[in-house]
Structure 1
Amino acid sequence: MFSGINQLFVRMADHPEMGKLLLRLTFGGLLLFHGQFKVIHGVGWIARLLTQKGLPDFIAYGAYIGEIIAPIMIIIGLFTRPAAFIIAINMLVATLLVKSGDVWHRSDVGAWSLETEALYFLGALVIMLMGAGKYTLVRDTRLQ
């Protein structure tokens, strides 16, 4: 009985290309909120953090690439794998700059303090490994 129910559910829910699209739209869309914040408030605070760590402050402008340009590329399916790689690097740098002291901390409700950062980093890696899929504005010629 459970096997039959499971098989029915698998037949109804087996849409990996739609799953890739949903992942890309959700991931890219949510990351754009972070980019919008940087557009409105600037990246001066990031530049100051970089300077404190002995790094050049112009690196702060990479946040625009990692949080606006790359997410848009992921949403439309243009150079999806390189864009996802850029986001993964962006998240790694952001985490090391802002939250590196939180690796072993948990929130008041028991969540890992780096939960959001981990989701974005690993989500970017998943998109990089899976690619854009079938539903894109720019089609990968290998898929035709």
Structure 2
Amino acid sequence: MLDYFKNKDVGLLLARIAIGFPMLFYGVGKVINGIEPIKEMVVQSHLPGFLAYGVYIGEVLAPLMMIAGIYARWAALVFAFNCLCALVIGQSSYLFKLNDFGGWAVELLVMYMLVGLSLFFTGGGKYSLSKK
């Protein structure tokens, strides 16, 4: 009976949905409310402001591609890189802090990044629109 539930492809699909769907809310929020706060953070980090538009790729396009399984491996790598950039540019002051509940202040962002990296190494599984 337990062998019936051993299906890595379902696990990969759930992982793609588990990190892609929630990240879409961050991206869509930036589409609706504007990119200006992100652009300010990027410029304060002494980087060109146009790099802020990469957030749309990392928080809208890459999650959609991961969920659908379209070039899931590469979309996951872009997604993980986006999380790393968010960590370095916007959340680095929280690296050594705890949240109100005693957890690591950046744990969610780091989990997103690590699951994205794991999907890069495993691929999207057989329940993907593009299979290689």
TMscore range, shorter length:
over 0.9
TM-score, scaled to structure 2? 0.94
**What is the CA RMSD across the aligned residues, in angstroms?**
1.1
Measured after TM superposition, the shift of residue 36 of structure 1 is 0.8
Mapped to 2, the partners of 1:137 and 1:84 lie a distance apart of 15
Measured after TM superposition, the shift of residue 33 of structure 1 is 0.8
What amino acid maps onto 2:27 in structure 1?
Answer: G
Larger radius of gyration: 1
Measured after TM superposition, the shift of residue 82 of structure 1 is 1.0
Residue in structure 1 matching 2:72, options 73, 80, 87 = 80
| 1:110 correspondence with 2:90 | no
Map of 2:42 onto structure 1 = 50
Identity %: 37
For the residue of structure 1 that corresponds to 2:53, the secondary structure is helix
Superposition misfits of 4+ residues, deviation over 4 angstroms: none
| 1:26 correspondence with 2:41 | no
Map of 1:4 onto structure 2 = none
What amino acid maps onto 1:73 in structure 2?
Answer: M
Cα deviations across residues 14-55 of structure 1 (Å, max 9, x unaligned)? Answer: 111111111112221111111111111111111111111211
Measured after TM superposition, the shift of residue 62 of structure 1 is 0.2
Map of 2:87 onto structure 1 = 95
What amino acid maps onto 2:22 in structure 1?
Answer: L
The total of aligned residue pairs comes to 132
Measured after TM superposition, the shift of residue 60 of structure 1 is 0.3
TM-score, scaled to structure 1? 0.87
For the residue of structure 1 that corresponds to 2:128, the secondary structure is coil
Mapped to 1, the partners of 2:131 and 2:21 lie a distance apart of 20
For the residue of structure 2 that corresponds to 1:22, the secondary structure is helix
